[in-house]
């Protein structure tokens, strides 16, 4: 017994703490070969009654194992046909020999008084005390709670476990764990409910629940069972029939290797449909599955089996529709003949039996005279399906359908709860993030100098973020674009913000703020220069305080400001006019307008109103092109401004003069009182003004824009 005692503690079996461990546990070699546990007398299965006899010998293990492994591998390969996880198939055999050696080594050691082996023994004993191995039968209870993928993995481990998988188990697992497996079950149910497909075996169901690729072409990714067909097929295989090797090898009827579409259209536009009302009965019978689309009924093109030789897909194929009709005709003729015979009153048993034999068709000759199926209520279709198409009896569908209806509500509730839990977790996470960011902004605010403190650190978008449910979005936005850009990494992941980083950030912001304050004083603009003096007055009016910086522009989202990183770069480079120009979205035409010689303005205003003048100034400012974004930002200093100003002035003056001249020229063509409106129209119309400035000949200008007088 001492030797047995030494062997009996299971070296590989640890206390089961989780399903994951349980799965691991199931892969251990000792589990399948219950000889070891049997020593303790704790575990016994009917599978290996002989194990007890040769139990103490370690040598008995390997020979018992190897044949099983190979057999298991074969069937595992079959199972793995649809799902992708090849690893599971390949791993165990690599593991086992190693384990066995170890186990063998260990079992030889205990005779020695080795400290290490003693310790090992202790731990082994402890583990065996804490957890008795689970009896294989009890695995059913564990398996019922596993998600489809784990159930599949378990089914791969050994034959006895594979045999334990039931339809109920798979349907429940798939429905409760949701996602594509659940969708597959729902699609299957709509067919199973009508008893219109071959009943999938539990293992096929399990494959359907875990499928990743089309079972026909084995290449296209597929998510769930194809609606209306109950097979795991990609759309290509359904409509264009690109499936290759699978179809060739397993298709029952077709000897040809040509690829055949999984579905075929049966058209209600055909004459035979219109002439024979019985087709209507056939097509609408519940066990006849087809997908209706317009006048087409798409039928399962031919009878097929899956890779394991199991019948798959709808019971009734395209060809069966006409066969059914033929059968109906046959029954009808027979019935008519019978009636005629009865009418002849010479009732002869021989004739009746002859008729009955004719009724039953070709292969039922040995059957006794069976009453021909009734031609109403689809009874004859039922009869035909059972006799000729191997349709399973309706009770075979019961387990699936019952489990489905019993579980679907619970599954709904569970998935709803899961969804809610997920949402509340996400909401909590988002709220925590918002809180963290708010704290960072508050802390940072305390370090920012006045008068910007409040304004610069103002953030928005919190509510929108919380409502969005997208936790990865930036949860808040600072109203100052350049500060927002600098802080964005910290707003996205608040944990990055350290005390040091915050201090540095505050300093960085303060430096910029000081610069902006200086800018707002406008002391860098001299009073002597025409342009600069005008600019000074203009900008001071535009930006009397900090608030004005934030509200000087309005956009679709409300007041906005131009304090971007580009703006900051301009200030950093001492390009103050450039920066101000940037704030004005590069439009300094108002300055141009106020500095225009008043004499000329007064004269011009005889014709042009204020709007037109502003427009003209804008055109003049942009006309020079000196002020375009690219130009002023590429310059090294602000000298461009004076140039642009001068050039704009020149253009403005010329344009005014020309308008005046043209106005005078119009004497006799346009009435005095209509002339200002006419000229304003020319200035406001971009195309007309362009033409007006380019063309020297007033006659031609008049020809081009005379119609403006009338419009």
Residues lying near Zn ion in the complex (CB under 5 A)? 214, 216-217, 220, 234, 237
Q: Which is nearer to Zn ion, 6 or 237 (CB)?
A: 237
Closest CA to 476 of 459, 457, 489, 493: 459
Please say whether the beta carbons of 189 and 167 come within 8 A: no
Strands (E), 178-318: 263-267, 291-293, 296-300, 304-305, 311-312
- Closest-by-Cβ residue to Zn ion is 214
State how far the Cα of 420 lies from the Cα of 425, in Å rounded to an integer: 8
Q: How far is the CB of 201 from Zn ion (least distance, A)?
A: 22
Q: Which helix or strand (DSSP H or E) is residue 265 part of? A: strand 263-267
Q: How far is the CB of 82 from Zn ion (least distance, A)?
A: 12
Q: How far is the CB of 196 from Zn ion (least distance, A)?
A: 22
Q: Which is nearer to Zn ion, 217 or 619 (CB)?
A: 217
- Look up residue 489 and give its two tokens: 């990494």
Q: Which is nearer to Zn ion, 235 or 270 (CB)?
A: 235
State how far the Cα of 305 lies from the Cα of 215, in Å rounded to an integer: 11
Adjacent-strand bridge partners of 304: 312
Q: Which is nearer to Zn ion, 48 or 242 (CB)?
A: 242
Closest CA to 473 of 487, 461, 456: 461
- The dihedral sign for the CA sequence 63, 66, 67, 69: positive
509-513, long-range: CB < 8 A, 24+ apart: 509/444, 509/448, 509/456, 509/483, 510/447, 510/448, 510/449, 512/482, 512/568, 512/571, 513/448, 513/449, 513/452, 513/456
Adjacent-strand bridge partners of 221: 213
- Look up residue 284 and give its two tokens: 């609408």
Q: Which is nearer to Zn ion, 234 or 581 (CB)?
A: 234
Half-sphere exposure of 516 (CA within 13 A, CB side): 29
Q: How far is the CB of 271 from Zn ion (least distance, A)?
A: 34
Q: Which is nearer to Zn ion, 234 or 459 (CB)?
A: 234
Q: Which helix or strand (DSSP H or E) is residue 558 part of? A: strand 558-560
Q: Which is nearer to Zn ion, 171 or 208 (CB)?
A: 208
Task: Please count the residues of the chain.
Answer: 711
Please say whether the beta carbons of 262 and 256 come within 8 A: no
State how far the Cα of 136 lies from the Cα of 32, in Å rounded to an integer: 9
Q: Which is nearer to Zn ion, 220 or 449 (CB)?
A: 220
Q: Which is nearer to Zn ion, 237 or 571 (CB)?
A: 237
Q: How far is the CB of 203 from Zn ion (least distance, A)?
A: 21
Q: Which is nearer to Zn ion, 241 or 481 (CB)?
A: 241
The b/e string for 253-277 (b: 16+ C-beta within 10 A; e otherwise) is: eeeeeebbbbbbbbeeeeeebeeee
Q: How far is the CB of 262 from Zn ion (least distance, A)?
A: 8
Q: How far is the CB of 98 from Zn ion (least distance, A)?
A: 39
Task: Say which residue the tokens 């067919």 belong to.
Answer: 191
Q: How far is the CB of 218 from Zn ion (least distance, A)?
A: 7
Q: How far is the CB of 235 from Zn ion (least distance, A)?
A: 8
Please say whether the beta carbons of 168 and 147 come within 8 A: no
State how far the Cα of 21 lies from the Cα of 566, in Å rounded to an integer: 58
Q: How far is the CB of 214 from Zn ion (least distance, A)?
A: 3
State how far the Cα of 341 lies from the Cα of 338, in Å rounded to an integer: 5
Q: How far is the CB of 222 from Zn ion (least distance, A)?
A: 7
Adjacent-strand bridge partners of 296: 267, 293
Q: Which is nearer to Zn ion, 239 or 470 (CB)?
A: 239
Q: Which is nearer to Zn ion, 214 or 456 (CB)?
A: 214
Q: How far is the CB of 347 from Zn ion (least distance, A)?
A: 59
State how far the Cα of 148 lies from the Cα of 206, in Å rounded to an integer: 7
């Amino acid at each position: 017994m001492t030797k047995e005692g030494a062997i009996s503690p299971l070296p590989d079996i640890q206390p089961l703490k989780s399903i994951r461990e349980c799965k691991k546990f199931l892969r251990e070699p000792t589990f399948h070969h219950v000889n070891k546990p049997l020593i303790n007398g704790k575990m016994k299965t009917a599978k290996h009654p002989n194990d007890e006899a040769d139990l103490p010998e370690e040598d008995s293990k390997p020979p018992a194992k190897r044949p099983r492994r190979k057999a298991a591998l074969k069937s595992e390969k079959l199972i793995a046909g649809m799902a992708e996880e090849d690893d599971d198939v390949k791993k165990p055999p690599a593991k086992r020999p190693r384990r066995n050696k170890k186990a063998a080594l260990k079992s030889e050691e205990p005779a020695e008084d080795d400290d290490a082996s003693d310790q090992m023994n202790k731990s082994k004993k402890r583990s065996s005390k804490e957890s008795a191995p689970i009896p294989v039968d009890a695995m059913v209870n564990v398996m019922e709670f596993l998600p489809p993928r784990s159930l599949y993995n378990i089914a791969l481990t050994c034959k006895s476990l594979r045999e334990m998988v039931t339809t109920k188990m798979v349907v429940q697992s798939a429905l409760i764990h949701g996602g594509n497996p659940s969708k597959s079950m729902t699609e299957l149910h709509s067919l199973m409910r009508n008893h219109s497909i071959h009943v999938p075996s539990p293992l096929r169901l399990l494959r359907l629940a875990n499928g990743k690729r089309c079972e026909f072409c084995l290449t296209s990714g597929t998510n769930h069972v194809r609606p209306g067909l109950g097979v795991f097929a990609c759309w290509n295989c359904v409509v264009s029939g690109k499936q290759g090797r699978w179809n060739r090898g397993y298709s029952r009827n077709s000897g040809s290797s040509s690829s055949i579409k999984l579905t075929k259209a049966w058209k209600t536009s055909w004459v035979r449909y219109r002439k024979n009302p019985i087709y209507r009965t056939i097509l609408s019978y519940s066990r006849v599955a087809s997908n209706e689309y317009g006048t087409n009924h798409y039928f399962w093109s031919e009878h097929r089996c899956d890779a394991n030789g199991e019948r798959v897909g709808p019971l009734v194929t395209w060809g069966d529709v006409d066969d059914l009709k033929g059968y109906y005709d046959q029954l009808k003729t027979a019935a008519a003949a019978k009636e005629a015979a009865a009418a002849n009153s010479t009732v002869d048993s021989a004739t009746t039996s002859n008729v009955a034999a004719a009724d039953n068709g070709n292969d039922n000759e040995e059957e006794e005279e069976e009453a021909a199926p009734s031609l109403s209520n689809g009874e004859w279709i039922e009869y035909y399906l059972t006799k000729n198409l191997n349709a399973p009896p309706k009770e075979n569908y019961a387990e699936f359908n019952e489990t489905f209806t019993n579980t679907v509500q619970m599954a709904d509730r569970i998935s709803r709860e899961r969804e809610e839990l997920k949402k509340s977790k996400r909401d909590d996470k988002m709220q925590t993030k918002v809180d963290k960011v708010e704290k960072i902004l508050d802390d940072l605010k305390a370090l920012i100098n006045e008068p910007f403190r409040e304004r610069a650190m103002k953030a928005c978008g919190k509510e929108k973020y919380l409502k969005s449910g997208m936790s990865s979005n930036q949860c808040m936005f600072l109203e100052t674009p350049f500060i927002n850009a600098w802080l964005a990494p910290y707003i996205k992941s608040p944990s990055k913000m350290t005390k040091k980083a915050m201090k540095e950030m505050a300093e960085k912001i303060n430096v910029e703020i000081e610069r902006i304050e200086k800018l707002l004083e406008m002391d860098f603009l001299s009073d002597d220069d025409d342009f600069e003096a005008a600019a000074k007055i203009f900008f001071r009016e535009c930006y009397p305080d900090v608030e004005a910086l934030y509200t000087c522009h309005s956009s679709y989202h409300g007041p906005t400001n131009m304090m971007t990183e580009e703006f900051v770069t301009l200030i950093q480079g001492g390009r103050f006019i450039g920066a101000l120009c940037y704030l004005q979205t590069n439009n300094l035409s108002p300055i141009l307008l106020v500095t225009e010689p008043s004499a000329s303005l007064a004269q011009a205003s005889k014709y042009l109103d204020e709007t037109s003048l502003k427009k003209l100034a804008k055109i003049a400012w942009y006309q020079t092109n000196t002020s375009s974004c690219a130009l002023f930002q590429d310059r090294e200093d602000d000298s461009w401004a004076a140039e642009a100003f001068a050039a704009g002035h020149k253009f403005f003056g010329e344009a005014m003069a020309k308008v005046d001249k043209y106005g005078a020229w119009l004497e006799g063509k346009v009435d005095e009182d209509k002339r200002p409106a006419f000229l304003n129209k020319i200035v406001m119309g971009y195309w007309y003004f362009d033409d007006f400035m380019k063309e020297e000949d007033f006659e031609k200008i008049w020809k081009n824009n005379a119609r403006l007088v009338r419009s």
